[in-house]
A and B are shown apart, each in its own frame.
Chain A
Amino acid sequence: QKEVEQNSGPLSVPEGAIASLNCTYSDRGSQSFFWYRQYSGKSPELIMSIYSNGDKEDGRFTAQLNKASQYVSLLIRDSQPSDSATYLCAVIPFSGGYQKVTFGIGTKLQVIP
């Protein structure tokens, strides 16, 4: 089982819709969760971090964390064509010492005008 799993997509949504991106992780003791956006040919950009169960909102983005289900999601409201990118879920597994970020394969999002 992969440590961080994401559907590679592509996920296609019409402009103005809500895009829902999902991620599951295997290490139940994980404490830190991140969403990165990566445009084609560019490096990843941190867009959200979440550490506690529940929702965290930042503008059009909402991160949701459910540690019991080992599930983290990212909602993008009012999706725009400029949101078309690959979204990487990242988790720091509980290792007790050195903390290394583990990335999912990423979900490609396509927002259709």
Chain B
Amino acid sequence: GAVVSQHPSRVICKSGTSVKIECRSLDFQATTMFWYRQFPKQSLMLMATSNEGSKATYEQGVEKDKFLINHASLTLSTLTVTSAHPEDSSFYICSARVFNRDNEQFFGPGTRLTVL
């Protein structure tokens, strides 16, 4: 149990385009999902917390108009990188917390974004 999927696994796009990444909890309902970014050889950086049915909470320094998060259902959260630029190239990972599982958090497989 506690499987999180992410799609796509890899995306290459041109500068200025928008990219949508989907995160799904496959076998549980996730009222809270998290979006992280990880640059090579660096630690995970929390970007935002996504709550079902409400606005996401963004970490300091993360542009909410650039990284749009929608948590439309208990099993799906999406991250849209708008007007992507090469500096947005990174490994984006979502995670979900299982209700009543002592705050255990499970990660999706990640999406590697390359902006040309």
Contact = CB atoms under 8 A, between A and B. Distances in A.
Interface residues of B, number: 16
Interface in A22-58: 32, 34, 36, 41-46, 49, 51
A88 interface: yes
B12 interface: no
B110 A42 contact: yes
B49 A42 contact: no
Nearest to B42: A105
B106 A46 contact: yes
Given A36-B107, A44-B44, A45-B107, 19 more contacts: A32-B102, A42-B110, A43-B107, A43-B108, A44-B93, A46-B104, A46-B105, A46-B106, A46-B107, A90-B105, A98-B49, A99-B103, A100-B46, A100-B49, A101-B34, A101-B105, A103-B44, A104-B43, A105-B43
Nearest 7 pairs of A and B residues by beta carbon: A43-B110, A43-B107, A105-B43, A43-B93, A32-B103, A44-B107, A103-B44
Interface residues of A, number: 22
Q: Is the interface of A mostly helix, strand, loop or mixed?
A: loop
B39 to A, nearest CB: 12
Interface in A79-112: 88, 90, 92, 98-101, 103-106
